[in-house]
Amino acid sequence: MTQHFVVIGSPIVHSKSPQIHQVFATQVSLDISYQRQYCPDDEGSFTAVIEAFFHGGGAGANVTVPFKQMAYAYCQVHGGLSEHAKIAGAVNTLLLNRALLDNGAPIVDAIYGDNTDGRGLVTHISSLGWVLTGARVAIIGAGGAARGVILPLIEAGITQLTVANRTVSKAQTLATELSAASDKISACDIEICATSDLRGTFDIIINATSIGLTDATLPLSTDLQTRYAYDMMYGRALPFLEHFAARGAQTSEGYGMLIHQAALSFERWTGHTINVEQAILALGNKS
């Protein structure tokens, strides 16, 4: 029997998740269908899409920008959240809570949320040979993508994490919310997209905004230095990476993170563990 999966986002046409999950399915001999699903950026539309999908027999869904916090809020009320999702305040993986279903709960009350983003990012960065232990890290953005990776970065042994965002209060709120978990997190007090003045030297700078999907750019200061620059976006020229490559930094787009977090989602849905290196070779991309 074919198992049905979907990735929900806005925009979504760029997503390579269908190809990645098909490679996973081939590796473990499963019959699946994995589709892209565009959704208008509002809570009512998002709720309608996920409920219709699972009512229609869907086995699992991925959630990408801008819906990760909406998915968190939904699962908080309905089927529950994993510890990773609770800490992140964001969800990128939806599945059915079988225990609730077995107890007679309707599907709408059994949609469960997990977050595999941070573990995927840490695994990919480590595979690149970039050392996280003792690293000073800056992350640009304070939305669902940033929330999902902060605690796994802390757990990987970094010594400092600076959260920067165009709305500084949002970065400060995020740092405060996570302060109980770590005293290594601080917020940048400069509105980087207004003043071009984010300054300092970091070992790794991560772009967790979706600005790379548009022609817009982050007005980064020429004083900002880093050894490594990572953009969670992928699949096109990324000005954020070009900015730092021109200054001698090693760079990586987020395709490898996508594959690693996808493998964790696939395992949650199907129970099958994926050989990620084998999958990357099959996909023809070693990002």
Instruction: Tell me how many domains the chain contains.
Output: 2
Percent of the chain with pLDDT over 90: 70
- SS3 state of residue 23: helix
Query: What does the alpha-carbon distance between residue 163 and residue 45 come to, in Å, rounded to a whole number?
Result: 30
Tell me, yes or no, whether 157 and 82 share the same domain: no
CA-to-CA dists, residue 206 to 78, 153, 178, 231, angstroms: 32, 11, 18, 6
pLDDT tens, position by position, 72-120: 999 999 999 998 999 888 899 999 999 999 999 999 999 999 999 999 9
Tell me, yes or no, whether 108 and 165 share the same domain: no
pLDDT tens, position by position, 17-65: 999 999 999 999 999 999 999 999 999 999 999 999 999 999 999 999 8
pLDDT confidence of residue 193: 37
Identify the sign of the CA torsion 122, 127, 130, 133: positive
Task: Say how many Å lie between the first and final Cα of the chain, rounded.
Answer: 33
pTM of the model: 0.86
Q: Catalytic residue, from 68, 170, 184, 286: name it.
A: 68
pLDDT confidence of residue 216: 78
Tell me, yes or no, whether 95 and 125 share the same domain: no
Tell me, yes or no, whether 77 and 155 share the same domain: no
pLDDT tens, position by position, 18-29: 999 999 999 999
Active site (annotated) includes residue 68: yes
Domain of 154 in residue numbering reads as: 119-253
